[in-house]
Structure 1
Amino acid sequence: MIDSKSHPSRDGVLPSLWQEHRAATILTANDEREIADQVWDVIVVGGGITGLTTALRLQEAGKRCIVVEAYQIGFGTTGGTTAHINTMLDTPYHTIESDFGASGAKLVADAARAGRDIIARNVSAYQIGCDFEYKDGILFAQTEQEEAELQKIFAASQRAGVEVLPAEAIPVPLDFRMAINYRMQAQIHPLNYLLGLAQAFTAAGGIILQHTPVSDSKRQQGVHEVETAGGTIRGHQLVYATHIPPGVNVLHFRCAPYRSYVLGAQLATDLYPNNLAYDMQEPYHYFRTHQLDGKRYLIFGGADHKTGHGDPDAAFRELEAYLHKHFDVASIDYRWSAQYFEPADGLPYIGELPGSEEHTYVATGFSGNGILFGSFSALLLTDLILGNESPYEKLFSPLRIKPIAGFTNFIKENADVVYRFVADRLNVDRLEALVELAPETGAVVSYEDQKVALYKSSEGKISALSPVCTHAGCIVAWNNAEKSWDCPCHGGRYDIAGKVLTGPPRKDLEAISLG
């Protein structure tokens, strides 16, 4: 159950704008005694945008579905996204065209429109109050090099059939050399939309189990048996909508975890951007406006870096300095970050999970287009589960092998993973000493000839954990902004007590006694 007033927590201590400005929503509690005795058509693990959109669509198609969520609806990335709904993608169309051909680029553009349209359709069909609005999306270049790149993006977008036009102005107070306008983009209040999907799904007969982490699954006699904290759930089909699948599989080497940082600010003037805007820096900045409870907020993000590698505090400082330089800022009311996974070849992985039991599906690798591709995933996964043919199946298949597309990224990201397995175990001398820990701070330190993840509370109490990620054995790093232990290899994250916040790990970090 979600009560009507309490803020659903997220996978970090920094609340997003959406958490503190959301609709009053109650989901009816389920009778777990009845659930345990049934064999479901589809078990969906994960209660974010991908899981709930997929479950709702399958329920509409006559399938009996159950959603299993480790925490509560809105806990993960959907509760922290900035909810830009784009047919302009993080992987530009000329790159897609080069790697997957002109027909592949057109299919991706079709998929992007389909993802946008299912959101619009759900909002209308179920009367979800989530501030859905169509907007223009303005991409602008500020240097000669960026302008040359933007010209390629513009031409390839048009060839792919995307509705894009030259733009004479941009909605933010910045100098620019060239800009293009992607028409019919959109924005929403993501948490209100997600809660609306949850209500529609349960009203259609679907079941949602919250606070029910999955520990294991196996398939016996044609049925998946999913082990949870509340018992075994059985179903014919299994969908992992968990941002990245659990366990250890090939997709963990084809997807790299990143964090992006966001500010929610009020301006001293009324010069808020009236459309979506994006620069072409690396990493790029993104801008939009949202009105909540009578107040307008400039939502501004960027400063992305690989999970467990960068400095979160420095990322926020960078964004704040940029914002104050270019806008008349009255106050910065919100700071938060969220995680996404970057696919090696630029396209999401949607379909059967490689190396898994039969009838196990996954959707991951959405880059910075999670709301869009999470929604599109529901269309493709529903077709696969229902046995329908789909023009998208081969292009987005997790089983695809493209020796050229994304090969450089694949080598770069996984060379880094190998480095973290080795280097993090050797360079103990440069780690902070135990006595140097400030209150509410953590660090991996050398302590009595072993590596230990230490955290000092505001009262000065020290707690210790094994720093070895329970997923694949990398050494975690301290995230001082979100107060979490983040794995630099595959994006697993743990709270200060070692409890899993974000998969793929299923087990908590082991507590260590210092006494």
Structure 2
Amino acid sequence: MTRELDQMNGMPQFPEAYWLGTAELPAFPSLNEDIDTEVAIVGGGMTGLTAAYLLAKEGFKVAVIEAGKILTGTTGHTTAKVTTQHGIIYDELISHFGEEKTRLYYQANHDALTFIKNLVNEKQIQCDFSEEDSYIYTNSSQEIQKLINEVTAYKKLGINGEYLNEVPIEVEAKAAIVIRNQAQFHPLKYLKHLVEEFTKMGGQIYENTTAVDMEEGDQPRITTRDNHKVSCRRMIIASHYPFYDTKGFYFSRMSISRSYCLAVKPEKEFPGGMFINAETPTRSLRSAEMNGEQVIIFGGHEHQTGKEINTHRYYEALEAFARQTYGIKEIPYRWSAQDPTTLDKIPFVGHYSPTTKNIYVATGYRKWGMTNSTNAALLLTDMIVGRKNPYQEVFDPNRFHADPDVKKFLTVNARVAAELVKGKLESPSAQPENLKNDEGATVMVNGKRAGAYRDEDGQLHIVDTTCTHMGCELEWNNGERSWDCPCHGSRFSYEGEVLDGPAETPLKKLSGEA
């Protein structure tokens, strides 16, 4: 990918994540034959590869299949905060589930943080790991009471946190809460070590191998897009969004949102720590190092996937915030990511469905994936080995709570139904021949709705904009040059290839200028 800059603001013209641009990852072949293994893992992100490493240590024969390149999905597009401070969450969880279950949620993520810290120290993994305090701050009088309630929840749960009247960074803040002794790192450098250890133990990894179907039973079997079979005794679905969803109905129990990041070489020194604000729009800050020079990672601006066409404005807003706070020498990287959130905000980790005791799933991390994915790997390893795990009930994917699940279930699915109808009624006025270079839009082609993008060289790419998951109509995303689904979050490149699930099948390519 070129490092050309946008003419307007000096940002990279095409998105690229800082983590992917500053780590060298090994390459693996695609699967070109049928294989048999004890544990098959679908998804080569942090969950899948951590679980693979742990299970191989337990003596299992493990194979991982990844639709693209390992660690280039959500794991490669994170802010990489290793923290138990997942926004303002603990007061809310206590009100819904009580102190006991909320304490288990906290403890599971604290254990994950401790696991990462201990592994880095034990193996001397060079991954830019540093202990940092984690802050939530606000400059809004309306949000102060929420912080007071949250720090009260910290005290109930035994969390090492406190209330503050200021923060040590260049932002306006009336109040803040902090959890001490959290951490940050370079996730790809950390996971590269786990991958190397896993393959040394005989573990298999197959890239560019897309799972499209599976069969249940005593010996589950995965079918890939190239019609190869992976037979196993146990299966973990760690594909960010479950690739197989005929029983779990995860698409109806999660919502999908995107957020944005810039890596900025600042004019002023950042003092350390990890920060996020309480109000909207979200502002997240942490530091990293690039060729011996400090960069600040600015993140934020969460929105529902597929609901925004001009997403480039979020990058521009983050740039303005960066310039206002620490100044900008250069913006070497920009990127975005998306994550599913469950109805009750607790991830789904465990048995895929009540009737599939040898198939497991992990999803719904709500943008706090570093500890949640590690906890998922630890929990699923215990379940497969047969060890008792105190967190199994809390994260059970088959749980259901009358409050808040019912209201949110109705709200989410009513929105999906509205989007489905709305998309079918739209009649775009744009025509493909009128598009300028590097411009995309919904258009009319032979009397039907379609999506067109004219690239930098003037070549026109036209696709059917009907999502191959459940038939919703896609919307153009100008910041990422992708077609995004407002119903369940699937994303496709301008050439129609799947970027994010739950969709598995590429879009149909169309031809014609009119």
TM-score, normalised on structure 1? 0.92
Residue 3 (structure 1) aligns with: none
Residue 496 (structure 1) aligns with: 494
User: For residue 21 of structure 1, what is the amino acid of its counterpart?
Assistant: T
Equivalent residue in structure 1 for 2:480, among 475, 479, 482: 482
Stretches of structure 2 lacking an aligned partner (at least 5 in a row): 4-12
* Counterpart secondary structure, 1:485: strand
Q: Contact 2:212–2:244 (CA<8 Å) still a contact in 1? A: no
State the shift of 1:411 in Å.
2.9
Stretches of structure 1 lacking an aligned partner (at least 5 in a row): 1-5
State the shift of 1:235 in Å.
0.4
* Counterpart secondary structure, 1:223: coil
**Over residues 324-379 of structure 1, what are the superposed CA-to-partner deviations in whole Å (9 max), with x where a residue is unaligned?**
22232222222111111122111101111137744211111100201110111011
CA distance in 1, matches of 2:490, 2:452: 18
Residue 15 (structure 1) aligns with: 16
CA distance in 2, matches of 1:43, 1:435: 47
What's the C-alpha RMSD, in Å, of the aligned pairs?
2.2
* Counterpart secondary structure, 1:211: coil
State the shift of 1:172 in Å.
1.5
CA distance in 1, matches of 2:88, 2:512: 47
State the shift of 1:309 in Å.
0.7
Distance 1:355 1:340, change over 3 A: same
Equivalent residue in structure 1 for 2:304, among 299, 303, 306: 306
Residue 431 (structure 2) aligns with: 433
User: For residue 20 of structure 1, what is the amino acid of its counterpart?
Assistant: G
State the shift of 1:440 in Å.
2.0
State the shift of 1:230 in Å.
6.8
State the shift of 1:165 in Å.
2.0
Residue 294 (structure 2) aligns with: 296
State the shift of 1:406 in Å.
4.2
Residue 374 (structure 2) aligns with: 375
**Bigger mean CA deviation after superposition, 306-315 or 147-156:** 306-315
CA distance in 1, matches of 2:31, 2:67: 17
How many residues align? The count is: 500
**Bigger mean CA deviation after superposition, 407-416 or 93-102:** 407-416
Residue 469 (structure 2) aligns with: 471
**Over residues 95-143 of structure 1, what are the superposed CA-to-partner deviations in whole Å (9 max), with x where a residue is unaligned?**
0001111101110110110121222233234332111111001211212
Q: Contact 1:171–1:277 (CA<8 Å) still a contact in 2? A: no
Residue 50 (structure 1) aligns with: 47
State the shift of 1:317 in Å.
1.5
CA distance in 1, matches of 2:28, 2:426: 51
* Counterpart secondary structure, 2:506: coil
State the shift of 1:155 in Å.
0.5
State the shift of 1:144 in Å.
1.7
Q: Contact 2:439–2:455 (CA<8 Å) still a contact in 1? A: yes
User: For residue 225 of structure 1, what is the amino acid of its counterpart?
Assistant: R
CA distance in 2, matches of 1:121, 1:60: 16
Residue 454 (structure 1) aligns with: 452
State the shift of 1:273 in Å.
3.4
State the shift of 1:25 in Å.
4.7
CA distance in 2, matches of 1:29, 1:416: 41
CA distance in 2, matches of 1:102, 1:279: 25
CA distance in 2, matches of 1:367, 1:190: 17
CA distance in 2, matches of 1:314, 1:227: 40
Distance 1:93 1:353, change over 3 A: same
Residue 196 (structure 1) aligns with: 193
CA distance in 2, matches of 1:355, 1:417: 26
* Counterpart secondary structure, 2:101: helix
State the shift of 1:30 in Å.
9.0
Residue 166 (structure 1) aligns with: 163
Superposition pairs for residues 188-337 of structure 1, below 5 Å? Answer: 188-220=185-217, 222-228=218-224, 229=226, 231-248=228-245, 249-270=248-269, 272-310=270-308, 311-337=310-336
CA distance in 2, matches of 1:176, 1:301: 17
State the shift of 1:91 in Å.
5.2
Distance 1:159 1:432, change over 3 A: farther
Distance 1:13 1:40, change over 3 A: farther
